Structure 1
Amino acid sequence: MTASPTAAPATSTETVVTSFSVIPDVTCSGTTSAVPMAWSTRNAQSVEFQVDGAPVTAGAGYAVSGTGNVLVPCDGKEHEVALVAAGTSGRASVSRQVNTFNAPPPVGAPLITRFSMLEDVTCPGGTAEVAAAWVTQNAQAVNFSVDGQPLPAAAGFPTTGTGNIAVPCDGTDHKITLTATGTGPAAASSRSVNTTVSTSPATPTAPTSATSPASVTAVPTTR
C-alpha cells in the first residue's frame, strides 16, 4: 500500500476548502432530511451550500468554518451537495454525494452495506488510481461508473472486497457509483472524489535498473 500524496501548499491569499464532510447515506422519511455536515475553509469571507446545483436559502447564515445541517430531498435518490467558499482571491468549491433511502429494500434484494473511498486526492495529473472498499449482501455482481461512464474492468470486481478506481486527475470533483445487482431491484451508492492537481515539480532521481511505472494509489478512509 503506498502513501497518500501530499497536497501542494496553497498561496497565502488563495481561498481554499480545507475539509468538507457529510454523512453519505441517509435513511429518512417525509419530504426532506436535515443532513449534518462539517467543514473548514481558509481565506474565505463567506460560504454557501448548493443541493443539486440550487443554492440553499439559509446558506448566507453559515460560518466560514463550522458545522450545520443542510436540507436534502428525502426521495430515495442521490443528491449532490456542494460547499462554495468565496474570498477576495476568488471562489473554491467541493462537492459530496448524499444517498437517501426512504423505504427498506425487498427481502433478498441486493444491498450495499459499506462503500468507502478517499474523498480528496492530490495527484500529478492524468489518472489517479483511488482505492475503494465495499461490502454487499445478496449481490451476484457489482460494477462501478465514473461520472456515469462504466469502467471497462467492472466485471472483474468481487461482490465484497477492494479495488482501484481510475479517476481523472483534473482538479475537479468526480462521482463514483457502485451498483450491486442480483435478484430484485439493483442497489446503488455514490461517493464524490475531489481531485487536486499537484504543482510541485518532480524530484529527479538517478537512473537505476528498469522498473514498471509507478501509479498513484489513494487509501480510503474508514467511515
Structure 2
Amino acid sequence: MDSIRRKLVSPLGGQGWPQPPARTPDHKPPDENDSSPLASEYQDWARWLDALRLAAEGGQMGALRALAHGKLRFLLRRCLLLRDNTMLGIRHHAQMGKTGSLIREFEQLMGELTGRPMPAEDEWPLPGRLYDAGSSTTADSSAPGERRRQPGRQNRLDAVSLDLAQQIHSSLQLTLRLLQQHGSLAGSASMQDASAGLARAATLGKLQQGEA
C-alpha cells in the first residue's frame, strides 16, 4: 500500500492517542476506512510512538532513550521489509526513494543518539538532547534533556541501540547493492545521495568500527 511507507513488526497498541506531532504530506496515515492488517499495525505503532514522545517531553534521559529505541525498532522493521521486497525483484525508482527516506531517518537517529542536534526526518524527533551520564565524573548541573558540553567528545551508542543500528545498516547496505543492479539507478544522483547518507550515519554511530 503506497500510502503506508512505514511497515511494522507487531501491534503495540493499548495506549490512547496522545497529541500527535503534525504529519507531513510524505507521512500520511492510512485511510480511516482501511481495515487491512498493515493499516491497523501502522496505527498501533503510531499511537505507541506518539505516547513515547509525549512521555519524553519532560526531557528525562530514560524517556528520551525509550523513544529513541522505539524509533530504531520501527525503522528496522521498515528496512527489513524494503530489503525483502528488493530481494524479490522490486527494484525501481520508487524503491530508491523509499530507501533514501529511510537512510535520512537513520542518519537523524544516529545523530540524536550521539547527542547531536539533527534536522527532523521522522515524526518523532527527540524533544531533548541525549547525553551519556557516565561520560564524566563531574556533577551535572544542566537541565534535564540537555547534553553536557564536552569538547571533542560525543555519546556512544548503548548496547541496545548499537545492535539495532547495526541491523539497520546491514539491511540498508544490502538494499542499495541490490538497487545498483538496476541500470538506471546505479549512477543516479539519488543513489549517490543515499550512499553518502548511509556512510554518514555509520560514522555518527561508529558502526564500521563496531564501537558502542
Give TM-score, length-normalised by structure 1: 0.27
- Structure number with the higher helix fraction is 2
Larger radius of gyration: 1
Higher strand share: 1
TM-score by length of 2: 0.27
